[in-house]
Structure 1
Amino acid sequence: MNKTFLVQEILRLKHEKNAVILAHYYQNEDIQEIADFIGDSLELAKKAQNTDADIIVFAGVLFMAETAKILNPDKKVLFPDWEAGCSLADGCDPEDFKMFKQQHPDHVVVTYINCAAEIKTMSDLVCTSANAKKIINSIPEDKKIIFAPDQNLGKYLEKETKREMVLWKGSCVVHEAFSLDKLIEIYKKNPTAKIAAHPESESHILKTAHYIGSTSGITNFVKTDPAAVFIVATEAGILHELSKAVPEKTLIPAPSKEDNTCACSECSFMKVNTLEKLYLCLKNETPEMVLPETLRKEALKPIERMLELS
């Protein structure tokens, strides 16, 4: 199927079925170009709440489609490919996490939104990379904290909030793939550049950064900072939309340890989604995200607490 046909059909079906297409910053360029909204996972799920669409097509990964369904129970939530997982979510098994919780009683459980709905049901609070500091700071100092599933984000938060936490040992394969040696090499060639890094990155990468923040935070930093050159340490898909917003600036993806096609860090899970899969999913209305109502309601509670706080 050629691209022109796919784009035309997706637009036709979207109108016909009253659907809205949400695309995460890390999706490939073709999908970003056809999306109604581009953003990070929670921002997109909240955007969907404010539309009158009957169908949400979430071009992202599995936990994002779950979050969209948790927040939008009356809408049909579709996503292009069941195989679009996440190393963070997949690395935190509900049974293992239940045992982990039992080993640390009387702890407030804070989970990063990049986790499965079942993990959210075991949480007191959910956070995003954008509001994580605020969420941790909202917890009384005499309370002990479990933070899961991202230990890199957890270590960063410990440093920022001066709170000691019990960390689940999980990580994002994309943000652990950055090469410090290659990054320094690029920086030496671009000494006026500013380095912007996502807090899922390892601490040695974060130490080099002029700015640390969420995908939305990095976007705002690059747009508003007067520097002309930026080295961006997060998934390279963010550069597509960002380069359109700041065409006069030079954006360099932080290099990965692997020798791959773009020499940058790409999420293979995010890139599982394609324009053709998006078309077929909208046409056939499958795969559909369906959650048992009891699970959905329990997973909603810590998200609502987060939304109240932030």
Structure 2
Amino acid sequence: MTIREMQDEIIRLKKEKDICILVHAYVGHDIWEVADFVGDSYGLSKQAAAAPQKNVLMCGVRFMAETCKILSPEKRVYLSHSDAGCPMAEQIGKKVIEEFKKKNPDTTVVAYINTTADLKTVCDVCVTSSSALQIVNNIENKDILFIPDMNLGGWIREKCPDKNIKLMQGGCPTHALISKTNVERLKAIHPDALLLVHPECRKEVVDLADYVGSTTGIMDFAKKSDAKEFIIGTENSIVQHLQMECLDKRFYELSKECVCRNMKLTTLADVYNMVKYGECEEIIMDEETRLAAKKPLDKMLELGG
């Protein structure tokens, strides 16, 4: 079976079996082509809630599938690969935050959406990389703990000097691999290229960027920009996606090391085996956990719109 034949069969079967396929931006383009929706983690969860299908396949990592289940309890939600986790989402345990809140009861705990459902149950509000700045500014309390990504949190802290933002040691190990040396090397090779980076990158990289934003923000900026060359400082699959959508422009990986191994676990064959044979892990969540984890997501919508 060729890639195209497998894709055609997936598209046929997903309609027959009432399956909505959600694909994160960091997953390969061959899987993009069979998706109902492509985007970032929270955007996909909102699409899942609005989609008419009763079954949802998340081609991404576990916390994303959990978020889908939190927002769509009436649907059956599946994760494309059982081993696809997120190291950042698993860095801070629920007990650590419970202890912090006991000692700091007046501090608002802001959790990046890249966290487990269990951790969300003890947090006050969630944010995405695109909504974090707006939401933190809209929080009335000045005392804030931002978890788990200290790079994103540090970037927000610089832009919100009126807030007292505390951070914990944590972050995306993939984005952390990008260094100032990478920027200097690529800029020397492509001096006219604009540098677009994700705020999960180190401060030394973010400070040199022409644009800092979420994955979808980076892609939108590159598509709309009049510039013809771009250095991309986020997961390297974005270079492929942008190049296929903007044939008149050129895109360069800031670091060959910026590859999310967890996102790459999902293959087109995994998607095929799910829609054909039902070979996939279903996300099961008790109602008490779901409702507790939904509260910071609801607060995110309230503060971020």
Q: Same fold (TM over 0.5)?
A: yes
Q: Cα deviations across residues 117-142 of structure 1 (Å, max 9, x unaligned)?
A: 111111111000000001100112x5
Alignment partners' CA distance in 2, 1:220 and 1:118 = 32
Alpha-carbon distance in 1 for matches of 2:120, 2:279:
26
Aligned equivalents of 1:217 and 1:47: distance in 2? 18
**Corresponding letter in the other structure for 2:267:** T
| Counterpart Cα distance in 2 of 1:270 and 1:103 | 37
Q: Structure 2-normalised TM-score?
A: 0.95
Residue pair 2:196, 2:212 contacting (<8 A) in 1 also: yes
Change (3 A) 1:36 1:240: farther
Give me the whole-angstrom Cα distance separating, in 2, the residues matched to 1:214 and 1:179.
18
Match of 1:159 in 2: 158
The equivalent of 1:107 in structure 2 is: 107
- What is the CA–CA distance in structure 1 between the aligned matches of 2:280 and 2:190, rounded to whole Å? 47
User: Post-superposition shift, 1:210?
Assistant: 0.6
For structure 2, the 5+ residue unaligned runs are none
Deviates more, 1:214-223 or 1:101-110: 101-110
Q: CA deviation at 1:116?
A: 0.4
1:296 equivalent to 2:290? Answer yes
Aligned-pair identity (%): 37
- What is the deviation of 1:101? 3.0
Q: Per the alignment, in what secondary structure is the counterpart of residue 146 of structure 2?
A: strand
Shift of 1:264: 4.2
1:4 Cα offset (Å): 4.3
Q: Which residue of 2 aligns with 1:277?
A: 270
Number of the residue aligned with 1:259: none
The reply on whether 1:44 has 2:44 as its aligned counterpart is: yes
Give the distance between the partners of 1:243 and 1:4, measured in 2 at CA.
20
SS of the residue aligned with 1:300? helix
Return the offset for 1:299. 0.9
Deviations 1:56-99 (A, max 9, x none): 11000000000011111111111111110111111112223322
**Matched residue count:** 302
Q: Deviations over 1:5-50 (max 9, x none)?
A: 5323322320111111110000022211211111000111111122
If the length of structure 1 is used for normalisation, what is the TM-score?
A: 0.93
Q: Superposition RMSD on alpha carbons, in Å?
A: 1.5
**Which position in structure 1 is the counterpart of 2:248?**
248
